[in-house]
């Protein structure tokens, strides 16, 4: 379960400074689309170098590396590819939105779970099922 008390991304970092560190690369999209897909560079690849970021401190970088390790390449770059729309501009907006959503999730702290004891009803239900299973096995036995 994720805590809602964690700081928002706006509190953590300055978006304008972070936007300056984002790199975009446009390329041809794959899949159906006919002639349009063959001549228009609508696929967007967003690159963000976590290692070289001047906006994030070391603790924030470590949190990103821990929680987003599958999305970070060997060079320490967070890569997001979007080819959902036919428009390069719309794909760029989606990529930026996904980037900030990922950062928000990376900065959220997990809520510590309190250990609880099972309730009376749960204990009774478990004992009842054990008794039923025991009866079932007892009925299988053959007397000699």
Q: Which residues touch 1 (CB under 8 Å, ≥6 apart)?
A: 110, 111, 113
CA distance 125 to 105: 38
Give pLDDT tens digits for 109-135. 888 989 999 999 999 999 999 999 999
Question: Where would I find the H helices in the chain?
Answer: 9-12, 15-19, 35-39, 58-67, 88-107, 120-140
Domain parsing of the chain, residue ranges? 9-107
Is 115:6 a contact under the CB 8 Å cutoff?
no
Stronger pLDDT, 65 or 11, i.e. the higher one:
65
Nearest-angstrom CA–CA distance, 44 and 23: 10
**Token pair listed for 76:** 């320490």
The CATH code belonging to domain 9-107 is 3.30.160.20
Mean pLDDT of all residues in 57-68:
85
Mean pLDDT of 67-90: 85
Q: State the pLDDT confidence band at 10, using cuts at 50, 70 and 90.
A: very low
103 band by pLDDT with thresholds 50, 70 and 90: confident
Mean pLDDT of 50-60: 84
Mean pLDDT of the chain: 81
Confidence class for position 44, pLDDT limits 50, 70, 90: confident
Q: Are 47 and 37 in contact (CB under 8 A)?
A: no
Mean pLDDT of 31-46: 72
Minimum mean pLDDT among 16-30, 64-78, 129-143: which range?
16-30
Quick one: which of 126, 14, 125, 19 has its CA closest to 60?
A: 14
For residue 127, the model assigns a pLDDT of 96
Does the pLDDT at position 2 exceed 50? no
pTM of the model: 0.63
């Amino acid at each position: 379960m994720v805590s809602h008390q964690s700081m928002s991304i706006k509190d953590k970092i300055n978006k304008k400074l972070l936007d300056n560190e984002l790199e975009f690369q446009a390329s041809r999209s794959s899949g159906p689309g006919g002639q349009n897909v063959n001549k228009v560079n609508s696929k967007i690849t967003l690159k963000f170098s976590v290692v070289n970021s001047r906006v994030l401190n070391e603790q924030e970088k470590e949190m990103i590396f821990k929680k987003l390790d599958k999305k970070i390449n060997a060079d320490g770059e967070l890569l997001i590819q979007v080819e959902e729309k036919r428009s390069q501009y719309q794909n760029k907006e989606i990529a930026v939105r996904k980037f900030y959503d990922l950062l928000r999730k990376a900065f959220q702290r997990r809520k510590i779970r309190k250990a609880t004891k099972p309730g009376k009803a749960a204990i009774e239900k478990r004992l009842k099922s054990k008794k039923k299973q025991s009866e079932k096995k007892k009925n299988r036995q053959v007397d000699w």
